[in-house]
Structure 1
């Protein structure tokens, strides 16, 4: 089950997504996809830094996602070789953007052309959606860009597959 949750406090917004296994445990395939999405999210967070443009960022995340999808066997080198540059092969399974500005609105106003600056807040929300397998996984955290990295505003919210499964099992007790 995929949850996309918004919240507001003091006129500022947050946006979070988590995916949980309805059965309480991920199947092997769900877990593989979950771990791939989490890996893409972690790499994407490292890319959001002062000086990069959002277009450059999305292009780099596309390469990371492409690699994850290759590893999952969802696309192959032929798909990549024959892809439309306007709609890359990875877009079959990851059709939305990875990040958007966050602040007074869930999709806050922000320039898509000026470089990212310290103090800006973004979501980081990769997902893989495999319609033919009825699997959709998205993980979304909010981060504040800093001069030397980022602060994950949702670092205390469970995201590891083991944490999610443990919480699911505790709820059954």
Structure 2
């Protein structure tokens, strides 16, 4: 089978509250930043690092980290990973999904080439009982996932037709009559 993975976070009741919208927009910014660097010749690892820079910056701005985003991004720290514990991408194709046996040089350290298709799916997740975040953040989880085709000179978002921004998602829900 050829899998496709597309994820959107939908607000309960059809409308994002201010905090939900802020979290959603941060995740969208992380995804957009990662998509923007996709082109032949970069490494798969760079896609993840780019998204994580945004996640670290946003969680630092919100006061959730014990230091700066730059400090958190150091390999020995990674404080922002408390709120995004998964990778940013995985390849798509014939039965491909996070192959644990893949060699590093072919996967995370692999060079992106035209014709590759993979997801970009950053997220932010705040557990109900997480006392490291203000109460209004607790229980919010947002992942935005799109399928990306590497072209000769960049990337094409294959799932761009599915609503992505908070306003588009709210409109989508409103149109569905829910």
Given the two structures, how large is their TM-score scaled by the length of structure 1?
0.83
In the alignment, the residues of structure 2 paired with residue 57 and residue 172 of structure 1 have an alpha-carbon distance, to the nearest angstrom, of 37
Q: Kindly state the Cα deviation for residue 172 of structure 1 after the two structures are TM-superposed.
A: 3.3
CA RMSD of aligned residues (A): 2.2
Counterpart secondary structure, 1:51: coil
Equivalent of 2:55 in 51, 65, 76: 65
Q: How does 1:1-173 map to 2 (within 5 A)?
A: 11-77=1-67, 81=71, 85-86=75-76, 88-107=78-97, 111-112=106-107, 113-131=109-127, 132=130, 133-172=138-177
Tell me the matched-pair count: 163
User: Relative to total residues, which structure has the larger strand share, 1 or 2?
Assistant: 1
Runs of 4+ in structure 1 off by over 6 angstroms are none
Q: 1:169 to 1:82 in 2, by over 3 A?
A: closer
The gaps in structure 1 that reach 5 residues or longer are 1-10
Contact 1:129-1:136 within 8 A present in 2 as well = yes
In the alignment, the residues of structure 1 paired with residue 72 and residue 2 of structure 2 have an alpha-carbon distance, to the nearest angstrom, of 43
The gaps in structure 2 that reach 5 residues or longer are 131-137
In the alignment, the residues of structure 1 paired with residue 165 and residue 119 of structure 2 have an alpha-carbon distance, to the nearest angstrom, of 18
Given the two structures, how large is their TM-score scaled by the length of structure 2?
0.81
Structure 2 residue aligned with 1:4: none
